[in-house]
Amino acid sequence: MSTVLITGSAGLIGSESVHFFAQLGFNIVGIDNDMRAFFFGDSASTAWNRNMLKDKYGDRYHHYDIDIRDRDKIETLFKDYSSDITLIIHTAAQPSHDWAAKDPHTDFTVNANGTLVLLEATRQYCPNAVFIFTSTNKVYGDTPNYLPLQELETRWEIEQNHKYQVGIDESMSIDYAKHSLFGASKVAADILVQEYGRYFDMKTVSFRGGCLTGPLHSGAQLHGFLAYLMQCTITGEPYTIFGYQGKQVRDNIHSYDLVNAFYHFYQNPRCGEVYNMGGSRHSNCSMLEAITLCEKITGNKLQYSYTDTNRIGDHIWYISDVRKFQSHYPEWQYKYDMETILSEIYTAQVSQQKQRHSVSSLASEKEQSLNGKLLLPV
């Protein structure tokens, strides 16, 4: 049975990949040491998702609590599975440009060095495997902010008839731009993935994602735009909009649609390829438009404030042009749009909150029961 090795397997794209390929009958090896909790706090921990995967798939899902920077452990794992590995899906990362500025060494070693460790292990022990990397549109830095943009009532929009009106394609330069330190570490990883493909003739690809989202996302203030926005709308937590009048635009792609694109690439791989991959014109919104949708779905009003200070290197407008990928893989198509995505996130978060409340209530009842027994006369 073919083995798929997935890094960041308890995260959004990693866990979606586990579900997708396990249901196709693959053996799954998952690597995830829950660094998301280290980055963003216990509320962003992916432990709940890891436990769910273990319970659901049993012996078909083999979990390893390994840091991808640990070369010895990674190489031992690759050596153990060797040529059984036919696909590596590398999603593990430090994903926040705000966080990267606080600890550049950790950010770079996780994103760049960790990717190098995985690529070299692939070359040494399963060189015929397909290597898929979840890169980011931040490799383009803030270059998109210098496009001719117009301020409309609820969003920024690019001038009509501009060559990027459909979306930004892979021809945009990555030079002479402010990337954020996160963007720089992902550029390094992105180029490594391309180079291993072209230099060693390996089947590698970088998917430069826009906003990746879905119901499996453990949203946090510094990462996970839609999941965190929905969380705040449901719970009444205050939300802060950073700059651009809240009209900054993002395209959003559901984790299933992205992983389905992975599968199409896996079936007919190429060497050292690059694709911009996001919601494109099919699925995009501004911050203000996303708030309106969240309020519509939940029936609640979001409690938010606004600050003129935007995040460093943040995009004013970014929509992906996915036509290159569609030309190579014409059978791939979207399943989810914006409202469907947010409705799924809402349903998942309400369900998780009920489960947490149920577990908390059971624990409280058990504690009260034990205390009651302790008070009984001997």
What mean pLDDT is predicted for residues 66-90? Answer: 98
Is 54 a member of any domain?
yes
Is 371 a member of any domain?
no
Helix (H, G, I), strand (E, B) or coil at 289: helix
Cα 341 to Cα 20, 196, 247: the distances in Å are 17, 35, 20
Tokens 């404030």 found at: 305
- pLDDT band of residue 218 (cuts 50, 70, 90) is low
In the chain, the number of structural domains is: 1
**pLDDT (0 to 100) of residue 307:** 94
Rounded Cα distance between 277 and 269, Å, is 16
User: 319 or 369: which carries more pLDDT confidence?
Assistant: 319
Are 92 and 14 in contact, with CB atoms under 8 Å apart? yes
pLDDT over threshold 60, residue 284: yes
Are 273 and 197 in contact, with CB atoms under 8 Å apart? yes
The domain in which residue 62 lies consists of 3-361
Rounded Cα distance between 266 and 84, Å, is 15
Sheet holding 27-31, edge to edge: 61-64, 27-31, 3-7, 85-90, 130-136, 203-209, 273-277
pLDDT over threshold 80, residue 369: no
pLDDT over threshold 60, residue 364: no
What is the CB-side half-sphere exposure of residue 146 using CA atoms within 13 A? 10
Phi, psi (deg, nearest 5) at residue 359: -65, -40
**pLDDT (0 to 100) of residue 372:** 55
Are 4 and 26 in contact, with CB atoms under 8 Å apart? yes
The segment with the largest mean pLDDT, out of 14-23, 39-48, 218-227, 312-321, is: 14-23
Give the residue from 200, 211, 365, 216 showing the smallest Cα distance to 283. Answer: 211
What mean pLDDT is predicted for residues 110-128? Answer: 98
> Which tens digit of pLDDT belongs to each residue from 245-277?
999 999 999 999 999 999 999 999 999 999 999
Instruction: Tally Cβ neighbours within 10 Å of residue 1.
Output: 8
User: 95 or 168: which carries more pLDDT confidence?
Assistant: 168
pLDDT over threshold 50, residue 378: no
Q: Of 2-11, 145-154, 347-356, which range is least confident?
A: 347-356
Is 375 a member of any domain?
no
> Which tens digit of pLDDT belongs to each residue from 39-71?
988 888 889 899 999 999 999 999 999 999 999
pLDDT over threshold 60, residue 363: no
Give the residue from 77, 17, 95, 78 showing the smallest Cα distance to 49. Answer: 17
Is 12 a member of any domain?
yes
Bridge partners of 61, per DSSP, are 28
The CATH number that applies at residue 85 is 3.40.50.720
**pLDDT (0 to 100) of residue 224:** 59
- pLDDT band of residue 371 (cuts 50, 70, 90) is low
**pLDDT (0 to 100) of residue 266:** 98
pLDDT-above-70 percentage for the chain: 92
What is the Cα Rg of the chain in Å?
21
Is 372 a member of any domain?
no
**pLDDT (0 to 100) of residue 40:** 86
Per-chain mean pLDDT for the chain:
92
Single-letter residue type at 203? K
Rounded Cα distance between 358 and 352, Å, is 10
Rounded Cα distance between 327 and 210, Å, is 19
**pLDDT (0 to 100) of residue 377:** 38
Specify the DSSP class assigned to residue 159.
Answer: P
pLDDT over threshold 60, residue 27: yes
Is 237 a member of any domain?
yes
Is 151 a member of any domain?
yes
